[in-house]
Chain A
């Protein structure tokens, strides 16, 4: 699983923020956490196309009418990050949870890629 956001960013017109992620791998798969604060559930867009995982979200804040921004650190209303999944991951069985602005993705490894212990024989 590798990050190719930088590459894809140059091809795109719309500027977006790069959400921070944690990626943890265990024997059975990969767990990804991404911080997407301000994105309601219906504005989150997850896509897996062949071996490419795209995480996109649009920020929607309740702003009173006539508000003028005086200081902005989250200065763009959009998050986007793209990853390449490796072959042993089973992209058909991805589980996703989204709560309090944190996305949790679980991508299991395909059956054939599960670890097997190989006995070494001394000849």
Chain B
């Protein structure tokens, strides 16, 4: 806009803004919010005996998290409240996710939905789903 470029209020702030916009456009800065992927961010890993799912849901009462497995699909849902700025307060930066969320992961066919553990620690929900015995690799002896 002409108005803005003629009267830059603060050159450094303008440069910061430009840099931020560029970073956003080219996705330079690694963001844990993963705007295209949604909240919460998730890591998934596997071992021969289990499938491990880590959901990064900071600042949530673990009892308010809904975790369920149905037909081989793991669903993690809940709500995160926004930090309210009181009266006469100014919100300068607002990047943290707030609101209801839901993420779904399809589990492999060989998991046992009755053998699941879930822990919440340091803002991370860790769900471990065991694989069925029969599915675990067995070494075949060569005669």
Residues of B within 8 A of A (CB): 12-13, 16, 19-20, 23, 29-34, 37, 40-50, 52, 54, 56-60, 83, 85-86, 88-97, 119-124, 126, 128
Contacts and interface: CB of A to CB of B under 8 A. Distances in A.
A2 to B, nearest CB: 7
Contacts of B58: 35-37, 100-102
B122 A39 contact: yes
B72 to A, nearest CB: 16
A22 to B, nearest CB: 5
Among B37, B59, B90, B91, find the residue whose CB has the most chain A CB atoms closer than 10 A. B59
Contacts of B45: 63, 67-70
- Interface size class on chain A is 35 or more
A96 interface: no
B95 A21 contact: yes
Contact of B126 (A17, A61, A101): A61
Interface string A12-35: 000111111111111100010101
Contacts of B47: 64-68
Interface stretch (A47-55, A72-80, A105-113): A72-80
25 contacts: A2-B12, A3-B16, A6-B20, A6-B23, A17-B31, A17-B32, A18-B29, A20-B31, A20-B95, A23-B92, A24-B89, A25-B92, A26-B86, A26-B90, A33-B96, A35-B58, A36-B58, A37-B40, A37-B56, A38-B122, A68-B45, A69-B43, A72-B44, A100-B123, A102-B59
A35 B43 contact: no
Contacts of B120: 100
From B49, B54, B60, name the one whose CB has the most chain A CB atoms within 10 angstroms.
B54
